[in-house]
Amino acid sequence: MNKDDNILGREDISKLLLNFAIPSIFALIISSLYNIVDQIFIGNSVGMLGNAATNVAFPLTTICTAIALLCGIGAAANFNISLGRGDKNSAKHYIRNAISFSIIAGLIFIIITQVFMGDLLKLFGATDEIMTYAIQYVSITSYGFIFLILVNVGSTLIRADGSPKFSMYCMVVGCILNVVLDPIFIFIFNMGMAGAALATVIGQFVSLIMVVIYFKKDFKSIDLENKFFEFKLDKIADIAKLGAASGFNQVAILFVQVLMNNFYRHFGALSEYGSNIPLAAVGIVMKVNMIFFCVNIGLSQGLQPISSFNYGAKKYDRVIEVYKKAAKYAILVSTISFVIFQIFPRQILNLFGGGSPLYYEFGVKLFRIMLFFTFINGLQPVTMGFLTSIGLAKKGILISLLRQVILLVPFAFIFANIFGIKGLLFAAPTADFITAICTVIIAKDVLQKLRDMSRKMI
């Protein structure tokens, strides 16, 4: 396909963005539902301690996501930029090296988790009451880590290849299977945490089969020649460079998850709530928030192939247009999410099983305070993805680290030590507000430079 004939460079931007973003949004939501569905069934069978256990196990999933985004987003950006320049040979190598690196990283992570499982879960905030449930869950889900990584990398590359709907189907089929198997394993076979874990791994494996079939039979932008494995350090370095912002964002999220879990455990123990109530509630809030956040991440992923291709083809007006449209959609979705979180926190908590009056008191406060600036949070992932897609990975990393590490961690430490567990709730919205201001400043500067580059092309 000639680069001038590629739809990414000629079709209406709004149509392209929706065509690429909507399947990506659904795929991400479905992916999040793996953990959400597990937690709902666990909460209604095992109870609050089961929910707390999935929370302290969740950082392991975050690590898998970090690896997948590093490889997938980095390879997809390089792939589409290469296609925009008409360099199909380089595009081919980026696909192969992303697959190889993902497999190696996945296998190493499985080994690390199996060997150091107890130590990792304790590090992530597990209490003695939670540990048994967490080990039951992770001892099975860890074997599916390589499936999870490859499915996410593969779906990102399938979307970059111009097949966003099939990318979505890969995720949907696995999640539906998980939803069907969860109640069978948990309630009928009475497997508890182990049943939820097994259902998750089976769903991920089926999704991976669909990814493999696409790569072998349907990849269309280039001919992979049925060669899917390659290890070239220069290509892997290029992938890591453009995938770093997304990967580091997940690492930062991991760091914050671990630190905040330990903060909630420590300062919760000093309050009337105890340790387990905050750990259970914060796990629910973070995962529910992630469903809505998936829409904005999906917009970020949807704009990636469009902005990367047009940047490579030097069509800067189209690059600017796709960002502005994605940012508007992100603000709209974030505002709707804000309203839901403020009005219906108790109803959301009820989905995950019951609890004591103190549990509901803390959970409602957590939703309303921690997620107060949700209505402006959508700009961060969209801007970060946009910057990465046009090769400005360092700026993307800055936005990521600003919220997750540079601001949130110090605010959490200061507020918690002054005001206790209730003060801890105000750290996230404070960091969100400052990050949003900085994100707008960075985005305006980049857009102005793109406008200047566009004028020089005339």
Q: Which tens digits make up the pLDDT trace of 355-381?
A: 789 999 999 999 999 999 999 988 998
Cα dihedral 86, 89, 90, 92 in deg (nearest 10)? 110
- Name the DSSP class of 313: T
Exposed (0-12), middle (13-18) or buried (19+): which is 386, by Cβ within 10 Å?
Answer: buried
Residue type, 29: I
For residue 246, pLDDT beyond 80: no
DSSP secondary structure string, 81-124? HHHHTT-HHHHHHHHHHHHHHHHHHHHHHHHHHHHSHHHHHHHT
Find, among 427, 120, 53, the residue nearest to 267 by Cα.
427
Each residue of 299-338: pLDDT tens digit? 998 898 899 899 988 999 999 999 999 999 999 999 999 9
Percent residues over pLDDT 70 in the chain: 98
pLDDT of the residue at 34: 66
Task: Render pLDDT for 30-82 as a digit per residue (tens, 0 to 9).
Answer: 767 766 777 788 878 877 788 788 888 988 988 998 999 899 989 998 998 89
Instruction: Provide the whole-model pTM.
Output: 0.73
Structure letter (DSSP) for residue 226: T
Span of 201-210, 281-290, 438-447 with lowest mean pLDDT: 281-290
Closest C-alpha to 212, from 147, 162, 127: 147
Of residues 102 and 257, the one with the higher pLDDT is: 102
Average pLDDT, stretch 259-269?
89
pLDDT reported for residue 1? 46
Residue 7: pLDDT over 50: yes
Give DSSP secondary structure letters for 406-453. Answer: IIHHHHHHHHHHHHTHHHHTTHHHHHHHHHHHHHHHHHHHHHHHHHHH
Question: For residue 151, which of 99, 96, 194, 108 has the smallest C-alpha distance?
Answer: 99
Angle of CA points 430, 387, 312, to nearest 5°? 170
